[in-house]
Amino acid sequence: MPGFFSQYGSTIAELTLEHLWLTGAAMLCATAIAVPAGVWLTRSPRWAKPVIALANILQTIPSLAMFGFLLPLPWLGERAARIAIVALTAYALLPILRNTYTGIRGIDPAVLEVARALGLTGTQRLFKVELPLATSFILAGLRTATVTCVGIATIAAAVGAGGLGELIFRGVASVDNRLVLAGAIPAALLALAADGGLGLLERWFQPPSQ
Amino acid sequence: MSAAIEFRDLFFSTPQGRLLLDNISLALEEGTTTAILGRSGSGKTTLLRTVNRMVEPTGGAVLVHGQKVREMDIIALRRDIGYVIQETGLFPHFTVERNVGVVPECHGHKSGDRIRRSHDLLATVGLDPKSFAKRHPHQLSGGQRQRVGLARALAGEPKILLMDEPFGALDPLTRAEMQDMLRDLLKRLKKTVLLVTHDLDEALYLADRIVLLDQGRLVVDIPASEFLASTQPEVQQYVNAFRRGARNAQAGDDQPLPATSPAEGGYAPEEGGYK
């Protein structure tokens, strides 16, 4: 075993960082799209059903097929990491979008009414009242999305995007369980760390009365 | 005295066509308190909410200090009008101090000024700033929450206060304390108050005028001191319905008393009160 680690230790570390980069970049992109979209849906609720349904459909596409669909696209297909980030972003949209929407819609109507009646502008209501009160919900969505995407990111190795999936695929091809575990265990640990860390953050941002 | 608030031929109907306000014309004098009474669904809250444009009327006009509210900047209008509701609507993630200072905060006042103003207002509504300023709303009792809600409504130094059943959820003793505090406060601050309430006693105790609405129509607009003596059937009906418990206890029997008829133990104004 020490021989295995001296041989693969640096590769595992490098691929873990790559895995983190792919997942982190996708989470940033998904948050940048889904939070404003969720806020917009609270202002135009008649769009909520179709938009959330669309995000739902994206999530049902098998991950390997999604990577395959994106491969021939210009610009995206030039670099595997781009394909991986776009695909992971698509998977992360639904939980963040849905939780942003339900988080804001779930705020006590009396609080929103008073915010309007006291003369807070739309922007002030959003940043002083709605987003702070919905933050724990949004973080719960981000947490679900992150844990899911840490797992899906292992498939990205199939299109050459790197990450811990590379060790798993290599292990499967050479029937070497040590390599499979060298990819699977850090991926599982990353998912657990993201779950724990974001869970703590979620509790931290919970409004005091809840 | 000029009218601080004026409703001119006001109509409001829902998109489904239900008429909630039916040709209301009413003027509220500067510095007076007007209570609006009426059944649930009679249009009391809708009328109140037209003043700060939380509801836009479908006909007629609302004027504040002689200016049509429809032509005023909605944010400036709302910041100049205090608003207190039964549920308080305190921001749960803000401390008491920040809740009270939210209007000055939106005006861009400096932190020190806001805190000083919040503390002054907390003291005004009978809460010690030292022990309450840093608490969150969930750490307060119902009465304390209402006091904070009132302090917040006063923070923008409004000339007009809109109060929608502010003490409706409180127990009778706390409600009485709050009414005393409010009465004393209004005497000192000289605000124009529009108070929606179900509680006749509260209306008689706090208001200079009482307005009775029925199915969106203005039935009565008279000085509070004349309300009990009014011979108008709608007023008698309201008074009788309100005083059934007291009459029943005085009568000392188990027979249910009529809710609406002045006969047989009901309100008899020509004889000076209750039989």
List CB contacts (< 8 A) between B138 and chain A: 208-209
Selected residue of B90, B102, B134, B157 to mutate for chain A interface (largest A Cβ count, 10 A): B102
Question: Domains in chain B, start-ordered, CATH in brackets?
Answer: 3-243 (3.40.50.300)
List CB contacts (< 8 A) between B114 and chain A: none
Instruction: Report residue A209's pLDDT band, with 50, 70 and 90 as the boundaries.
Output: low
| Among candidate residues B128, B171, B173, the one with its CA nearest the CA of residue B147 | B128
Burial of B17 (0-12, 13-18, 19+ CB in 10 A): exposed
Alpha-carbon distance of B93 to B85, in angstroms, equals 19
Query: What pLDDT sits at residue A207?
Result: 83
Report whether B214 contacts B39 (CB < 8 A).
Answer: yes
Three-state secondary-structure class, residue B12: strand
Residue B106 to residue A111, Cβ atoms within 8 A? no
List CB contacts (< 8 A) between B91 and chain A: 111, 115, 128-129, 133
Cβ neighbours, 10 Å, residue B181: 17
Query: What pLDDT sits at residue B263?
Result: 42
Query: What pLDDT sits at residue A1?
Result: 64
For the cut 70, the answer to whether the pLDDT of residue B84 exceeds it is yes
A177 in contact with chain B, both atoms CB, cutoff 8 A: no
Alpha-carbon distance of A16 to A190, in angstroms, equals 9
pLDDT digits (tens, 9 = 90+) for B16-74: 989 999 999 999 999 999 999 998 889 999 999 999 999 999 999 999 999 999 999 99
A124 in contact with chain B, both atoms CB, cutoff 8 A: yes
A175 in contact with chain B, both atoms CB, cutoff 8 A: no
| Among candidate residues B126, B146, B128, B129, the one with its CA nearest the CA of residue B137 | B146
Placement of tokens 């905060």 in the chain: B105
**Thinking of the domain A9-205, which architecture would CATH place it in?**
Orthogonal Bundle (1.10)
Query: What pLDDT sits at residue A85?
Result: 94
Instruction: Report residue B242's pLDDT band, with 50, 70 and 90 as the boundaries.
Output: confident
Q: For chain B, give the percent of residues with pLDDT over 90.
A: 68
Question: If you measure CA to CA, which chain B residue comes closest to A111?
Answer: B89
Domain ranges of chain A: 9-205
Full 3-state SS string of B203-215: HHHHCCEEEEEEC
B56 in contact with chain A, both atoms CB, cutoff 8 A: no
A123 in contact with chain B, both atoms CB, cutoff 8 A: no
Alpha-carbon distance of A142 to A195, in angstroms, equals 10
Selected residue of B100, B106, B145 to mutate for chain A interface (largest A Cβ count, 10 A): B106
B66 conformational bin, left if phi > 0, alpha if psi -120 to 50, beta if neither: left
Name which of A76-90, A108-122, B107-121, B188-202 the model is least confident about: A76-90
**Mean pLDDT of the B169-194 span:** 90
Question: Is the complex ipTM higher than 0.90?
Answer: no
For the cut 50, the answer to whether the pLDDT of residue A45 exceeds it is yes
Selected residue of A111, A112, A114, A137 to mutate for chain B interface (largest B Cβ count, 10 A): A114
Alpha-carbon distance of B208 to A106, in angstroms, equals 40
List CB contacts (< 8 A) between B76 and chain A: 119
Report whether A145 contacts A198 (CB < 8 A).
Answer: no
Residues 6 or more apart whose Cβ sits within 8 Å of residue A47: A40, A41
For the cut 60, the answer to whether the pLDDT of residue B274 exceeds it is no
List CB contacts (< 8 A) between B77 and chain A: 119
Query: What pLDDT sits at residue A74?
Result: 83
This prediction has a pTM of 0.84
List CB contacts (< 8 A) between A207 and chain B: 92-93
Placement of tokens 């499967």 in the chain: A172
Question: If you measure CA to CA, which chain B residue comes closest to A209?
Answer: B138
Instruction: Report residue B256's pLDDT band, with 50, 70 and 90 as the boundaries.
Output: low
Report whether B132 contacts B98 (CB < 8 A).
Answer: no
For A162-182, the DSSP string reads -STHHHHHHHHHTT-HHHHHH
pLDDT digits (tens, 9 = 90+) for A27-42: 999 999 999 999 999 9
